[in-house]
Structure 1
Amino acid sequence: MREAYQSDLRHLVDDLVNMASMVESALSDATDALLDGDLALAERVVAADPHIDERQLDLDAKSVELLARQSPVATDLRLLVASLRMSSSLERMGDLCAHVALVARRSHPELAVPEQHREQIRRMSDLALAALRDAAQVISDRDLALAAQVEKNDDELDELQQEIAREIGKGEGYTNTQIVDLTLLIRFYERLGDHAVSLVRRVGFLVTGDAVDTLGQATDVTEF
């Protein structure tokens, strides 16, 4: 029985990592659809989002069943509690990827991102992808040094959001639609980074037992 229980816990971690991989694919495809004006790819990202939602429901059901059946304590209890929060963050990240794809779809056949901002948006996407990959590794390996790096790297995403916001805030050379779309897009990518930070902080709670800093930056992300 004990071996089966430990196997269930390991599978739970594997499920979280797999869910992160699904979100990673969605993010990569959504950005490609956005910058290349690929309508078919955007549609695939939107259509795939319910599968990420289903994965969250399945993972949460497993966690709740283990909580009820095994009455875990200490690290095992923290793992199950953390998994419920991490699956929620990953589901929201999937939603954000779908939002990016919806901007691409709405703008078609035009490109939503003006030429002068394409490199910045690509960089925001690359940073969010790196944060997600690193967060998945942190979940798998419980690597707190890498977790700290994810938090540190999130600063560049925030700076890029602020940089683009300042530029479009001047309102010169943009249509109203471009201003709205860019404002949304930089918010989506910035929130993706915040969710990655939330993931690694949950792992910190799992490993150390220290309470998560709910007053700190981007710990419990409830919008978008």
Structure 2
Amino acid sequence: MREVFQQELAEVREGLVTIAELVAASIANATRAFNESDVTLAESVIADDDRIDELALTLDELAINILARQQPVARDLRIVVSALRISASLERMGDMSSHIAQLARYRFPEKVVPKGLRGTFKEMGRLDSEIALKLTELLRTEDMALAEQIRSDDDLIDDLHLSVFDKVLGETWKGAAVDTVDATLASRYHERFADHAVSIAKKVQYLATGDWAVPPVSSTVSTTATV
């Protein structure tokens, strides 16, 4: 029974890596379709999202069965519980890729955003693709250096996300209403993709160490601040 249990845990971890690999391919293709106005590639990304959803559901069912039958403890329990949460975030990352591809499909044969923002979105897409590859390797190896790199890349995407809002809200913005909506939606999808990766990185840290290691609140933050 113990050998079966360990095999099932291995299947859970391998399943996460498989889903992450599909997500990495999805975001790479989605951002390419977005930047190049490739409707065929966009349609492929949208169709492939069903595969990510199916694998995430299958993994969740396996994890729930392990909890019910094996009653794992300590690190084994962390693996199963973390897997359930990680698969949900991976599924949402696939959704973000699909949303980016949908924008490319809706605006075909035109490009989604005006020329002045294309460089920004090309860089956001590059960073998202890099994050997805690092995330896949993180899930495979539990190398915490990769988790830190993912957080650093996310900071860069956050800066680019803010720059998009600065651009579309600026006095020099000449885009039509549809351009403003498309740009803000696309930027949000790119930013949320990276946010989910950071969330997974934190869960892998917990899986590896049993500690969330939440940084202390800065002493500069007022205790009377309101949300």
TM-score in terms of structure 2 length: 0.90
Which amino acid is 2:117 matched to? Answer: H
Q: Deviations over 1:15-57 (max 9, x none)?
A: 1011011111111111111111111111111111111111110
Deviation at 1:192, TM superposition (A): 0.7
Q: Do 1:112 and 1:178's aligned partners in 2 also have CA atoms closer than 8 Å?
A: yes
Residue by residue over 1:164-201, the C-alpha shift from the partner in whole angstroms, topping out at 9 and shown as x without a partner, is 11011126210111110000001000111101101110
TM alignment of 1:194-213, pairs within 5 A: 194-211=195-212, 213=214
SS at match of 1:163: helix
**Aligned 1:87-106 pairs, distance under 5 A:** 87-106=87-106
The sequence identity of aligned pairs, in percent, is 39
Cα offsets for 1:99-158 (capped at 9, x unmatched): 001111111121112222222111111111111111121111111122122112211000
Root-mean-square deviation (Å): 1.7
The number of equivalent residue pairs is 216
SS in 2 for 1:210: coil
Map of 2:9 onto structure 1? 9
- The match for 1:168 is 168
Please state if 1:134 is matched with 2:134. Answer: yes
Where does residue 222 of structure 1 map in the other structure? none
* SS state at 1:113 partner: coil
What is the letter of the counterpart of residue 98 of structure 1? Answer: S
- Contact kept in structure 2, 1:202 and 1:212, CA below 8 Å: no
Q: Using the alignment, how far apart are the partners of 1:153 and 1:12 within structure 2? A: 27
One-letter code aligned to 1:88: A
Are the counterparts in 2 of residues 165 and 183 from structure 1 also a CA contact under 8 Å?
Answer: yes
CA contact (8 A) 1:34 1:113 kept: no
CA distance in 2 between counterparts of 1:73 and 1:50 reads: 33
Supply the distance in 1 between the matched residues of 2:9 and 2:66 (Cα, whole angstroms).
9
For structure 1, which segment, 141-150 or 60-69, has the greater mean C-alpha deviation from structure 2 after superposition?
A: 141-150
Give the number of the structure whose alpha-carbon radius of gyration is greater. 2
**Partner-residue secondary structure (3-state), 2:193:** helix
Residue 44 of structure 2 corresponds to 44
Contact 1:53 1:91 in 2 (8 A): yes
CA distance in 1, matches of 2:10, 2:138: 14
Letter of the structure 1 residue corresponding to residue 93 of structure 2 = M
TM (norm. structure 1) is: 0.91
| Contact 1:150 1:200 (8 Å CA) reproduced | yes
